[in-house]
Amino acid sequence: MKKKANQSLDDINPYKVDKLSKIPSWIIVVFLKFWAAAAAVFFIAIGGQDIGLDWSEDDSFDSDFRMIVAIALLMAIFLNYFIKQFVRMMHNRRNNTYRYNMINSRGFLAFILYIIYCFILSFILYFVTWFLGMKGWVLNPFQTVNYGIEPFTYGLSFIIIDTLFVLVKDLCVILYYRLAYKKQMSNNTPIIIDKKPIIE
């Protein structure tokens, strides 16, 4: 019995690359973001009725605005306290996962920035969802809705718009580092960039 246990321990290679590590990090980040957006919509807009959040009382923009704020707040919690932690764990010198995420800084300021960012995204996605519903382009895998808000459609729309924002952020970060590098080269000083952008 002991020989078998020792043989199984000897067969374990701590340096062996497992199958999950072969998945590109951008696929993991995109999947997690899709899950966060879809879960926020499900818990607030659909499942929220079980805890007394009824958004169908009136069809005014005031009710929709409260839903936008609630979805933005829950998405900010998911992105800041769950997805960002995965991004930071996967980040290293060989794998810069920060470029796939909007805000990677730590502290309470990052959460405030995420609330602002998610509110802007939720406001844009409100009109995107309205447009898709008017055209009848809302995904309907479970035959539940023909128009309006739906987790899968919302998640896909979130991924597209978030990717555009992240691309703009990455371009700004690259420009920032290039300007800092050029400034230090012109001054003939050692190349040390001590200040990093807030939303690197």
pLDDT in tens, 40-53: 998 888 776 666 66
Domain assignments of the chain as residue spans, ordered by start: 23-186
- Which residue intervals of 54-150 are DSSP H helices? 61-78, 84-90, 108-135
Q: Would you state the structure tokens that stand for residue 122, as one six-digit string?
A: 């939720």
pLDDT in tens, 159-182: 999 999 999 999 998 998 888 888
pLDDT in tens, 16-34: 556 667 789 999 999 999 9
Task: Considering only residues 149 and 123, tell me which one the structure prediction assigns the higher pLDDT.
Answer: 123
Q: Would you state the structure tokens that stand for residue 145, as one six-digit string?
A: 């809705």
